Amino acid sequence: MAMSQTGDALRTVAGPATHAAQWPFLMAWFLALVFYFIQYAIRSAPSVMVPEIGAAFGLTTLGVSSLVGLYFYTYAGFAIIAGATLDRYGAKLPLAAGTFVVAAGSVLFGLGAASSAEVGRLLQGAGSAFAFTGAVYLATRGFSQRWLATAVGFTQCFGMLGGFAGQFGVGPLVHGVVSWQAFWIYAAVPTALVAVLLLVVTPGRGEPASGSVWSMFAPYKVVLTNPQSFLCGLVGGLLFMPTTIGDMIWGVNFLRQGLGVPAAEAVARSSMVPLGWVIGAPLLGYLADRIGRRKPVLVGGIVLMLLSIAAIVYLPALLPPYVGGLLFGIGSGAAMIPYTMIKEVNPENVKGSAAGAMNFLVFVLSAFLAPLFGLALMRLSGGMPLTLQTYQHADLIWVGAIVLSLVLTLFLRETGAAARTATHA
């Protein structure tokens, strides 16, 4: 499927010389996908080792949530830097540097000391901010505009496959093969290797950067003075939080403590959400490209998210095991559509900054909600063990986020090809 999409995208660009120019960006894009896969696995892996982390560092529920949530603080801040450096310097050095930083952060998290784990988690977030933004930057140069939403959806598909691996694959590893600390050390090795390959394969910018270093942030004035940019960021952020925090941090514990599911089965069922993204992100991106409209597909995904989370949390016997999480993940794939829309509502010369601003807005929300959700669980439980009722009350946060995203979507401007054609007609 990926190869046929790549071939179709290349055929839309006229001329053999132009074809040749695309391939270096496509090869670099593939390596960026591998980086995105790894960083998503690293992002979601703590969800299967919450008890071990809490015991090792003497942390409460809120403490574990705060430690894991440090990732989102630096991710949000460095999303701005990532977008600006991509527009100024191209993808070569920023992507390779970001990958090296993630490798270093992985090593520090696995050293076994609370202080090094905190620094490591901060570094993981900082370096990871370059992964998706860099992959999308390369996709805009390797694919035609006609297939951009599909390429962005496939990019996110690869990332969520990493999220799936970070739960389904890492769970059995740290509960029987290696210690949770050793996992982080081993994860740094392939990450560093990808960094070297990115440095070798990724095309340079082709022309020296001009102006002061601070001038590279000038494109953000264009992006952040556009109200549609904020709407895209809010919708994307509200749709991301129920998966990146609700599932990838607390999903396994909800199933174990709330529903009494055995540990191995809880890991497998929780991993259905990122697996659903693997299906939903490219599928919904393709549908948005195919019909030439973004908003109907986005609304459909949001409604599927809302119905499935209601079934999982409040009517857990309604759907067969694994089905609810898979449907929720498929609907969550719609969160990638605003990433395409923010590029389409802003000028061509600020594409990297548009992606950086989008990631900043999305993960500022995640950075705020990660500790807040942990605090809500702690307050609702009154210090007692977490129960299904506790999770049902706390998960109203995610239900509210999804409903709000649906309302805000009504105010987004349609940017699909069909709408642009109608405007020019």
State pLDDT tens for residues 216-225: 777 788 888 8
pLDDT (tens digit per residue) in 28-45: 899 999 999 999 888 888
Q: What are 399-404's contacts with CB under 8 Å, separation 24+?
A: 399/306, 399/309, 399/310, 399/313, 401/238, 401/239, 401/241, 401/242, 402/238, 402/239, 402/242, 402/302, 402/305, 402/306, 402/309, 403/306, 404/238
Mean pLDDT of 383-409: 93
The Cα 408–Cα 243 span in angstroms is 19
pLDDT category of residue 9 using cuts at 50, 70 and 90: very low
All domains in the chain, ordered by first residue = 2-202+216-416 (1.20.1250.20)
7, 19, 142, 145, 147 from 11: Cα distances, Å:
6, 8, 12, 12, 11
pLDDT category of residue 12 using cuts at 50, 70 and 90: very low
Rounded to two decimals, the pTM is: 0.74
The Cα 13–Cα 250 span in angstroms is 45
Per-residue model confidence (pLDDT) at position 325: 93
Question: Quick check: 320 pLDDT over 80?
Answer: yes
Question: Quick check: 376 pLDDT over 80?
Answer: yes
Mean pLDDT of 234-251: 88
Task: Check if the beta carbon of residue 239 is closer than 8 Å to that of residue 361.
Answer: no
Task: Check if the beta carbon of residue 408 is closer than 8 Å to that of residue 231.
Answer: yes
182, 250, 255, 305, 333 from 176: Cα distances, Å:
12, 21, 20, 34, 32
Q: Is 322 left (phi over 0), alpha (psi -120 to 50) or beta?
A: left
